[in-house]
Amino acid sequence: MDLDFPLILTWAVLITGAIWLFDAVALKPRRVEARKDESEEDDEPLIVEYARSFFPVLLLVLVLRSFLAEPYQIPSESMVPTLEVGDFILVNKYAYGIRLPVLGTKIFDVDTPKRGDIMVFIPPHDSRYFIKRVIGLPGDHIRYESKALYINGERAEYEFVGQFYETIGREAVPVREYLETIDGVQHTTYRYPIDERPREWTVPEDSYFMMGDNRDRSDDSRRWKYVSEDKIVGKAVAIWVHKDPGLHWPTFERNGWLNE
């Protein structure tokens, strides 16, 4: 079971803050009054001491994580080759507006997602964070046919890079690599020899159509439709460290800014 860390952190801040405040307002004055010598050290309860110590730290972490930046680890191959399993990325939490923690309600506008952005969000069918590329904006008509994207009737630009083989089970499967350009944003995509019928979508208002760069190995909007605006977490801006699964040391060889 996945832990809802933002919710846990929020409750930890509220509880430690409430204990500290209640003690300062109601309990501490009584302790001071009960002591004969006010120069004596305050006999503070252990739970209040812990709350007073942890509250500022937890509050700082909550503010930084909710409004500025948040680390996120890539768990799947859906964004390969742009993002690999084990990449740790930095998510800009204010790129698309300031939002309340846990609730996700936007309280201050900054910018809106652009086609080609790599965005972290909560999909409609799962409570976990997902990361995909923004393909369709509100009102866009998206068509996916013969492994090619058509946005509002215009085909994305493609440049064939090459082909390699990947072992899946006992079979060597050919994988074709292309450079795809959407609104001036160029990125690499992979295509596997998997048939997929042509499909079309019209993106509703306040929603976005998301796809992984590893097109045939990505669970994305082609299956679960659209990402609601209030489920946006932030914009992925950089890879800051990489660690392969298992007993491996972190490396900084893949460090760099995304979409640059």
Query: What pTM was estimated for this model as a whole?
Result: 0.78
Per-residue pLDDT tens digits for 162-178? 999 998 888 899 999 99
pLDDT of res. 100: 76
1 secondary structure, DSSP code = -
Per-residue pLDDT tens digits for 37-88? 555 666 788 898 888 888 888 887 777 776 777 888 888 999 999 999 999 9
What is d(CA 102, CA 246) in angstroms, rounded to the nearest whole number?
Answer: 31
CATH 2.10.109.10 fits 74-257, yes or no: yes
Please give the positions annotated as active site: 78, 132
How far is C-alpha 59 from the geometric centre of its chain's CA atoms? 21
Enumerate the domain spans of the chain.
5-67, 74-257
- Confidence band of 225 (pLDDT split at 50, 70, 90): very high
Mean pLDDT over the full length of the chain: 88
What is d(CA 100, CA 10) in angstroms, rounded to the nearest whole number?
Answer: 11
